[in-house]
Each structure stands twice: as structure tokens, then as C-alpha cells.
Chains A and B, each alone.
Chain A
Amino acid sequence: MKQYFKDLDKAFDNKIRLGIMSVLMVNEYVSFNELKQWMSLTDGNLASHLKYLEKVDYISINKSFLGRKPNTKYRATKLGKNAFKKHVNALEKILKGGKHNDVT
């Protein structure tokens, strides 16, 4: 069980970043405002976590304009998706292991 702890990703030890990544796993792309609505966050808070994920190359940003309004779209990169899968796998394995330990 212990060996799985090292598979937990530091980028996802924050609930907001984990939430952003969960959303991007099941949506091709999402906008800033959609993310804000789902996670009920302030602009600044959300932006800083998006920046973090961009820095480690887990998400990519596509800036464009819809008329005059800026329309920023976020996608998960392949690297990000794999990291997320690994993280979730580790979570599940640890939890299973934990249950086993409870019994014995």
C-alpha cells in the first residue's frame, strides 16, 4: 500500500486543482467562466491555480476573442491526463489497501 503514496501527484494535493483537472478529463475544453461557476471561486483564486497547472504542462490555454470579449479555453494535455489517471489509480489502491488493513 505504501508504495502507492509516491504515485500521488503533488499538483493534485490541492482540491481546486484536482477539481479543474476532473472537469477537463470529461470535457474537451472549458472556458474560464464555466470553471468559475462549477467551482464557485473568485477570479484571482482560480487564475492562480490555472497558472500552476499550465506551468507543469498539465493544461493548455487557447486565447481568442468572441467579438470583443476575451474567450479563453482550457484543455487537458496528454501529460496532464496521464498524471491524473495515475493519481486516481493510486488513490483507489491506497483506499483498497486501507480497507484490507482494517480487517486484519
Chain B
Amino acid sequence: MKRNLQEELTHIRIMMERSTRFLSLSGWAGIMAGIYASIGAYYARKLIYNSASIEIYFDIKDGSMSKGLLYLLAIATGVFLLSMATALYTCSRTAKKSGEKLFTPAALKMLYNMAIPFITGGVLSIILILKGLMGLVAPITLIFYGLSLVIASHYTYRNIKVLGILEVALGLLAACYQGYGLFFWTLGFGVLHILYGTLMYLKYKQ
């Protein structure tokens, strides 16, 4: 009798978690996103410091996109798309392993709520670039990404909130130290992702 009742309580907890949280998050998604971001940052750095770098910042002011800036945007877009594709792939593998679908109602709720700060940050970054305020892009992307992670933590593993807060803190620091945007960006999107992904992998084995 006693064991039965214990099972009942466990069953209740499992059903509550399963119906409200997206638990197919894979540590590999974080690790790979971090690696892509680091590689992207390496090429961006090369581009900025090796070529006629100043152009990247000043061409835009008279309304023309410089080649260098377009390269930078292409790198950023590439890192973003690769990260998303990898996350989709690794998370669907995790979901399959535990016999669940990837897009559960909880997963959709998470994505929908994350999208609000995420898209706001993205659009704001584009506006800033078009206005020639490149220096604000690193802090803005870090801060808004961090905020979307804090929101996501309500719909998936709670500990992702820590990652979100660290990203926001890095973003604020990046705003204080103008000119070190790429450095903070690499820390936030590269190093932190790899660290969090590894911890996540070790903890949940997924």
C-alpha cells in the first residue's frame, strides 16, 4: 500500500512537469551554438582588425553598406541559422529518445513567449546598425537574448535562468566598455553557451 501511494505522488509530479515544461532540451544545442559563435567571432575579429577596418563603422553613416559590414552580418546570420538548426536537430533527438514529440504545447508556449524579447532585440539591432550605432549592437543582443532566456526558464529547465541573467550582466558590462563589443559577445554567446551546454549534458545526460 505504502509503495503504491508513493508512486501516486511521483505520477502526479511527472504529469505536472510534462504538461507545463519543455524537457527535451539538449546540452549539445548549447555546446554547438557556443562553438559556432566562437568561430564566427574569430572571423569577425579577423575582418575588423586586418582589413581597412574603420570603413565598417563609418561607411554606413552616409547610407551605404560597406562590404565589410555585409560580411559581418552574413557571419552573424550564419551563426544564428546554424545554431537554430542544430538546436532543432539535437532537441528532436532527445525528444524521440524519451518517446515525446518535439513541439509539445509546452515547447510552443516557450518559443512564443521567448520570441517577444528575442524579436524586439533583433529588430532594435537592425535599426541601430542602420543608424550607424554599431557599438550598441553587442550589448543589445546580449541583454535581449538574456531576457528571453529568463522567460524561457518558466517553460523549461529552471536553471536556464542563471544563463539568462549572466547574459544580461555581460550585456550591461559591454555597454560600459565601448569598443570591446566583440569580446563580450564571444564570452556571452561562445564561452557561456559551451559551459552551460556541458553542465546540462553532464547533469541530464542529454
A residues sitting closer than 8 Å to B (CB atoms) are 15, 18-19, 22-23, 25-27, 30, 34, 37-40, 88, 91-92, 94-95, 98
Chain B residues whose C-beta falls within 8 Å of the C-beta of A19 in the assembled complex: 11-12, 15
Q: Do B12 and A30 have beta carbons less than 8 Å apart?
A: no
**Given known contacts A15-B11, A18-B11, A34-B105, A27 and B20 CB-to-CB distance under 8 angstroms:** yes
A-B contact count (CB 8 A): 48
Contact with B20, one of A26, A39, A40, A92 (Cβ below 8 angstroms)? A26
Q: How far is the CB of B146 from the nearest CB of chain A, in Å?
A: 26
Centre residue among B16, B19, B99 by max chain A CB count within 10 A:
B19
Q: Do B5 and A95 have beta carbons less than 8 Å apart?
A: yes
Contact with B18, one of A18, A25, A38 (Cβ below 8 angstroms)? A38
Q: Do B2 and A23 have beta carbons less than 8 Å apart?
A: no
Interface presence of B86 (CB below 8 A):
no
Q: How far is the CA of A18 from the CA of B6 in the complex (A)?
A: 13
B residues sitting closer than 8 Å to A (CB atoms) are 2, 5-6, 8-9, 11-13, 15-16, 18-20, 99, 101, 104-105
Who on chain B is nearest to A25 by CB? Answer: B16
Q: How far is the CA of A23 from the CA of B21 in the complex (A)?
A: 11
Q: Do A95 and B2 have beta carbons less than 8 Å apart?
A: yes
Chain A residues whose C-beta falls within 8 Å of the C-beta of B9 in the assembled complex: 88, 91-92, 95
Chain B residues whose C-beta falls within 8 Å of the C-beta of A38 in the assembled complex: 15, 18-19
Q: Do B11 and A37 have beta carbons less than 8 Å apart?
A: no
Q: Do B12 and A88 have beta carbons less than 8 Å apart?
A: yes
16 contacts between A and B (CB under 8 A): A15-B11, A18-B8, A18-B11, A19-B11, A22-B11, A22-B19, A23-B19, A27-B20, A30-B19, A34-B19, A34-B105, A37-B101, A38-B15, A38-B18, A88-B9, A91-B5
Who on chain B is nearest to A90 by CB? Answer: B5
Chain B residues whose C-beta falls within 8 Å of the C-beta of A91 in the assembled complex: 5, 8-9
Q: How far is the CA of A10 from the CA of B144 in the complex (A)?
A: 49
